[in-house]
Amino acid sequence: MALWHYHPHVDLERRPDGDDDPIQRATPPKELRPDDIRVSDSEREQVVAVLGQAAGEGRLTLDEYTDRVEQAYAARTRGELVPLLRDLPVGQGQAQPIWATPAGEAQVWTPRPAAAADRTERLLAIFGEDSRKGHWIVPAKVEVRTIFGGCELHFEDAQIQHPVTRVEATVIFGGVTLFVPEGVEVRLSGAAIFGGKDTKLRDAPRPGAPVIEVACLILFGGVEVRPPKRRWLTKE
């Protein structure tokens, strides 16, 4: 027969520490780190605005700009937004969100060089072709002239120097194609006689994105804006 033994110094209904409340006995919650705080829509928009200014100053290529904007809109915590701004200075009239500046680190504004401010880039194609691609510095104004020829402007790896870039395209029996990442604002204007102007960009412009104004004069030709070619298609 089993015997039950009573131990006078052990209370089965009471913990030795005297804590009877199961809620109090639970492990205290871990302290929330600043990087783990959920971001709001307004915080995402602040980051996108900073990225737009950086692209307009030539600090980011348009490809880098669109990539970071996509990451900003997909971010769920502040820790996911911080790396998008870590290599960018505080600009004039556009401060970074206070949480984006690491504690103890002073960020210094570096003025944008004005060497390309008054320069005009010119492309001319007569019975031939001309292009600007890869890494190139985009001035405030670009002039493109084609006569029985074609020109291509690739902006995906270019450094934009101004919030607004103006492209003047005169096309006579030819064509001009601009390759611009999605999310950048492109404004097409001008006249087309026996020709046309069109954009294949599908996404709406991002808030604060650089602007490319394209003024066209077309006679038996066309001006077209397209997203960049896929990288794997351009590899030889």
pTM of the model as a whole:
0.62
Q: What angle do CA 169, 175, 180 make, to 5 degrees?
A: 70
* Contacts for 91-97: CB closer than 8 Å, 24+ residues apart: 91/50, 91/53, 91/54, 91/57, 94/49, 94/50, 94/53, 96/46, 96/50, 97/43, 97/46, 97/47
- pLDDT of the residue at 128: 92
State yes or no: pLDDT of 149 exceeds 50: yes
> With the CA atoms of 202, 168, 210 and 176 taken in that order, what torsion angle do they form, in degrees rounded to the nearest 10?
40
State yes or no: pLDDT of 109 exceeds 50: no
36-91 confidence digits (pLDDT tens): 888 888 888 888 888 888 888 888 888 888 888 889 888 898 888 888 988 887 54
170-219 confidence digits (pLDDT tens): 999 999 999 998 888 999 999 999 999 999 998 888 878 889 999 999 99
Please give the mean pLDDT across all residues of the chain. 78
pLDDT band, residue 15 (cuts 50/70/90): low
More confident residue, 10 or 37: 37
